Amino acid sequence: MQLIAIIDYGMGNLKSVSKAIETVGGKVTITSNPDSILNADKVILPGVGAFRDCIHNLKKFNLVEPVKEFIKSGKYFLGICLGMHMLFDISYEFGEYKGLGIIKGSVKKFENIGNLPIPHMGWNVVEKKKSSNLLHNIKNKDFFYFAHSFYVSPDNSSDILTTTDYGFNFTSSINRENIFGVQFHPEKSQKNGLQVLKNFMEL
Protein backbone atom coordinates (compact mmCIF):
# COMPACT_ATOMS: atom_id res chain seq x y z
CA MET A 1 0.00 0.00 0.00
CA GLN A 2 1.29 3.44 -0.89
CA LEU A 3 2.09 5.89 1.90
CA ILE A 4 0.60 9.39 1.74
CA ALA A 5 2.43 12.03 3.79
CA ILE A 6 0.39 14.96 5.09
CA ILE A 7 2.73 17.85 5.80
CA ASP A 8 2.52 19.21 9.35
CA TYR A 9 3.79 22.78 9.45
CA GLY A 10 1.80 23.87 12.49
CA MET A 11 -1.28 24.88 10.51
CA GLY A 12 -4.09 23.12 8.70
CA ASN A 13 -6.82 20.64 9.40
CA LEU A 14 -4.47 17.66 9.53
CA LYS A 15 -6.70 15.25 11.43
CA SER A 16 -9.76 15.66 9.22
CA VAL A 17 -7.69 15.22 6.04
CA SER A 18 -5.95 12.20 7.52
CA LYS A 19 -9.25 10.62 8.61
CA ALA A 20 -10.75 11.20 5.16
CA ILE A 21 -7.80 9.46 3.47
CA GLU A 22 -8.09 6.54 5.89
CA THR A 23 -11.83 6.35 5.20
CA VAL A 24 -11.10 5.60 1.52
CA GLY A 25 -8.47 3.00 2.43
CA GLY A 26 -5.27 5.05 2.39
CA LYS A 27 -2.22 4.73 4.61
CA VAL A 28 -1.25 8.11 6.09
CA THR A 29 1.56 9.68 8.04
CA ILE A 30 1.37 13.23 9.43
CA THR A 31 4.90 14.58 9.43
CA SER A 32 7.21 17.58 9.43
CA ASN A 33 10.27 15.42 8.82
CA PRO A 34 11.89 16.18 5.43
CA ASP A 35 13.06 12.59 4.91
CA SER A 36 9.59 11.21 5.62
CA ILE A 37 8.16 13.64 3.09
CA LEU A 38 10.73 12.78 0.41
CA ASN A 39 10.30 9.04 0.96
CA ALA A 40 6.49 9.11 0.78
CA ASP A 41 4.68 7.89 -2.33
CA LYS A 42 2.41 10.94 -2.41
CA VAL A 43 2.21 14.19 -0.45
CA ILE A 44 -0.67 16.42 0.63
CA LEU A 45 -0.16 20.01 1.78
CA PRO A 46 -3.34 21.12 3.59
CA GLY A 47 -3.94 24.64 4.76
CA VAL A 48 -6.18 26.82 6.89
CA GLY A 49 -5.29 30.39 7.84
CA ALA A 50 -3.24 33.21 6.31
CA PHE A 51 -0.73 32.91 3.47
CA ARG A 52 1.91 34.91 5.36
CA ASP A 53 1.80 32.58 8.37
CA CYS A 54 1.81 29.49 6.19
CA ILE A 55 4.89 30.43 4.17
CA HIS A 56 6.60 31.58 7.39
CA ASN A 57 5.98 28.20 9.02
CA LEU A 58 7.13 26.25 5.98
CA LYS A 59 10.42 28.14 6.19
CA LYS A 60 10.57 27.80 9.98
CA PHE A 61 10.23 24.01 9.76
CA ASN A 62 12.74 23.88 6.85
CA LEU A 63 10.11 22.36 4.56
CA VAL A 64 10.37 24.59 1.48
CA GLU A 65 13.16 22.67 -0.21
CA PRO A 66 11.75 19.21 0.64
CA VAL A 67 8.41 20.22 -0.92
CA LYS A 68 10.14 21.49 -4.06
CA GLU A 69 12.36 18.41 -4.25
CA PHE A 70 9.39 16.07 -3.83
CA ILE A 71 7.52 17.80 -6.65
CA LYS A 72 10.59 17.67 -8.90
CA SER A 73 10.77 13.90 -8.32
CA GLY A 74 7.59 13.52 -10.36
CA LYS A 75 5.58 11.93 -7.56
CA TYR A 76 2.02 13.15 -7.05
CA PHE A 77 1.42 16.21 -4.89
CA LEU A 78 -1.90 17.74 -3.75
CA GLY A 79 -2.36 21.18 -2.20
CA ILE A 80 -5.67 21.82 -0.44
CA CYS A 81 -7.05 25.39 -0.14
CA LEU A 82 -4.19 27.46 1.35
CA GLY A 83 -1.90 24.54 0.50
CA MET A 84 -2.70 25.16 -3.17
CA HIS A 85 -2.12 28.90 -2.76
CA MET A 86 1.43 28.16 -1.54
CA LEU A 87 2.32 26.75 -4.96
CA PHE A 88 1.98 30.13 -6.67
CA ASP A 89 4.49 32.95 -7.19
CA ILE A 90 2.91 35.61 -5.03
CA SER A 91 -0.06 36.33 -2.77
CA TYR A 92 -1.74 39.68 -2.10
CA GLU A 93 -3.34 38.45 1.12
CA PHE A 94 -2.91 41.21 3.72
CA GLY A 95 0.22 42.46 1.99
CA GLU A 96 2.48 40.99 -0.64
CA TYR A 97 4.22 37.67 0.01
CA LYS A 98 6.24 35.32 -2.14
CA GLY A 99 5.02 31.75 -2.50
CA LEU A 100 6.88 28.64 -3.60
CA GLY A 101 6.89 29.73 -7.25
CA ILE A 102 6.02 26.29 -8.60
CA ILE A 103 2.93 27.39 -10.53
CA LYS A 104 3.08 30.72 -12.36
CA GLY A 105 0.41 33.12 -11.14
CA SER A 106 -0.88 34.92 -8.07
CA VAL A 107 -3.35 34.73 -5.19
CA LYS A 108 -5.97 37.49 -5.13
CA LYS A 109 -8.86 38.62 -2.93
CA PHE A 110 -12.50 38.41 -3.97
CA GLU A 111 -13.55 41.96 -4.81
CA ASN A 112 -16.37 43.65 -6.71
CA ILE A 113 -18.59 40.57 -6.77
CA GLY A 114 -21.84 42.39 -6.08
CA ASN A 115 -23.77 41.50 -2.94
CA LEU A 116 -22.13 38.10 -2.51
CA PRO A 117 -20.64 37.65 0.97
CA ILE A 118 -16.91 37.24 1.54
CA PRO A 119 -15.63 34.71 2.46
CA HIS A 120 -17.11 32.41 -0.14
CA MET A 121 -18.38 29.74 2.22
CA GLY A 122 -20.55 26.71 1.63
CA TRP A 123 -21.44 24.40 -1.23
CA ASN A 124 -20.80 25.31 -4.84
CA VAL A 125 -20.29 23.47 -8.12
CA VAL A 126 -17.14 22.90 -10.14
CA GLU A 127 -17.02 22.99 -13.92
CA LYS A 128 -14.42 20.81 -15.61
CA LYS A 129 -12.02 22.52 -18.00
CA LYS A 130 -9.95 19.46 -18.87
CA SER A 131 -9.92 15.76 -18.10
CA SER A 132 -7.98 14.34 -15.17
CA ASN A 133 -7.95 11.11 -13.22
CA LEU A 134 -8.27 13.23 -10.07
CA LEU A 135 -11.89 13.83 -11.15
CA HIS A 136 -12.71 10.22 -12.00
CA ASN A 137 -16.38 9.53 -11.17
CA ILE A 138 -16.95 13.24 -10.52
CA LYS A 139 -19.67 14.70 -12.73
CA ASN A 140 -19.47 18.14 -14.28
CA LYS A 141 -21.03 20.66 -11.86
CA ASP A 142 -20.88 18.35 -8.86
CA PHE A 143 -20.93 20.16 -5.50
CA PHE A 144 -17.98 20.69 -3.16
CA TYR A 145 -17.52 22.66 0.07
CA PHE A 146 -15.62 25.97 -0.03
CA ALA A 147 -14.37 28.35 2.68
CA HIS A 148 -12.07 31.14 1.39
CA SER A 149 -11.68 34.86 0.75
CA PHE A 150 -8.81 34.53 -1.74
CA TYR A 151 -8.47 32.62 -4.99
CA VAL A 152 -5.65 31.60 -7.34
CA SER A 153 -5.13 33.21 -10.73
CA PRO A 154 -2.83 31.03 -12.88
CA ASP A 155 -0.88 32.72 -15.67
CA ASN A 156 -1.36 29.67 -17.88
CA SER A 157 -4.94 28.58 -18.60
CA SER A 158 -3.63 25.08 -19.28
CA ASP A 159 -3.04 24.71 -15.50
CA ILE A 160 -6.77 25.20 -14.76
CA LEU A 161 -8.59 21.95 -13.99
CA THR A 162 -11.95 23.35 -12.85
CA THR A 163 -13.63 26.72 -12.37
CA THR A 164 -16.43 27.81 -10.06
CA ASP A 165 -18.85 30.71 -10.39
CA TYR A 166 -18.91 33.19 -7.51
CA GLY A 167 -19.65 36.51 -9.13
CA PHE A 168 -17.21 35.43 -11.83
CA ASN A 169 -15.53 32.18 -12.80
CA PHE A 170 -12.52 31.64 -10.56
CA THR A 171 -10.07 28.72 -10.64
CA SER A 172 -11.26 26.08 -8.17
CA SER A 173 -8.66 23.42 -8.96
CA ILE A 174 -5.41 23.12 -10.88
CA ASN A 175 -3.29 20.40 -12.46
CA ARG A 176 0.06 20.45 -14.15
CA GLU A 177 1.81 17.11 -14.65
CA ASN A 178 2.17 15.57 -11.14
CA ILE A 179 0.92 18.68 -9.32
CA PHE A 180 -2.69 19.08 -8.19
CA GLY A 181 -4.41 21.75 -6.13
CA VAL A 182 -8.01 22.19 -5.00
CA GLN A 183 -9.62 25.31 -3.56
CA PHE A 184 -12.49 23.34 -2.06
CA HIS A 185 -12.08 21.12 1.00
CA PRO A 186 -12.45 17.49 -0.07
CA GLU A 187 -12.36 16.38 3.57
CA LYS A 188 -15.55 18.43 4.14
CA SER A 189 -17.22 17.62 0.82
CA GLN A 190 -18.80 14.30 1.78
CA LYS A 191 -19.12 11.71 -1.01
CA ASN A 192 -17.60 13.82 -3.78
CA GLY A 193 -14.68 14.92 -1.64
CA LEU A 194 -13.92 11.36 -0.58
CA GLN A 195 -14.01 10.34 -4.25
CA VAL A 196 -11.41 12.99 -5.10
CA LEU A 197 -9.14 11.80 -2.28
CA LYS A 198 -9.62 8.19 -3.36
CA ASN A 199 -8.70 9.18 -6.91
CA PHE A 200 -5.56 10.94 -5.67
CA MET A 201 -4.62 7.89 -3.63
CA GLU A 202 -5.00 5.68 -6.70
CA LEU A 203 -3.08 7.86 -9.20
Q: Which of 96, 136, 187, 202 is catalytic?
A: 187
* The one catalytic residue among 81, 85, 93, 120: 81
Q: Give the residue extent of every domain in the chain.
A: 3-201
Mean pLDDT of 159-169: 98
Percentage of residues of the chain with pLDDT beyond 90: 89
**Which pLDDT score is estimated for 193?**
98
Catalytic residue among 85, 120, 148, 185: 185
Q: What is the domain class of 3-201 according to CATH? A: alpha beta
pLDDT, position 11: 78
Whole-model pTM over 0.95: yes
Per-residue pLDDT, averaged over 170-179, amounts to 98
148 catalytic per annotation: no
Residue 112 is predicted with a pLDDT of 84
Query: Would you state the pLDDT for residue 162?
Result: 98
Mean pLDDT, the chain, rounded, equals 95
Residues 8-61 pLDDT 10s: 988 777 899 999 999 999 999 999 999 999 999 999 999 888 898 989 999 999
Residue 180 has pLDDT above 80, yes or no: yes
Residue-wise pLDDT tens digits, 124-142 = 999 999 999 999 999 999 9
Closest CA to 174 of 130, 139, 143, 137: 130
Query: Is there a catalytic annotation at residue 22?
Result: no
| Separation between Cα atoms, residue 55 and residue 50, nearest integer Å | 9
Residue 54 annotated in active site:
no
pLDDT one-digit tens code per residue, 63-88: 999 999 999 999 999 999 999 999 99
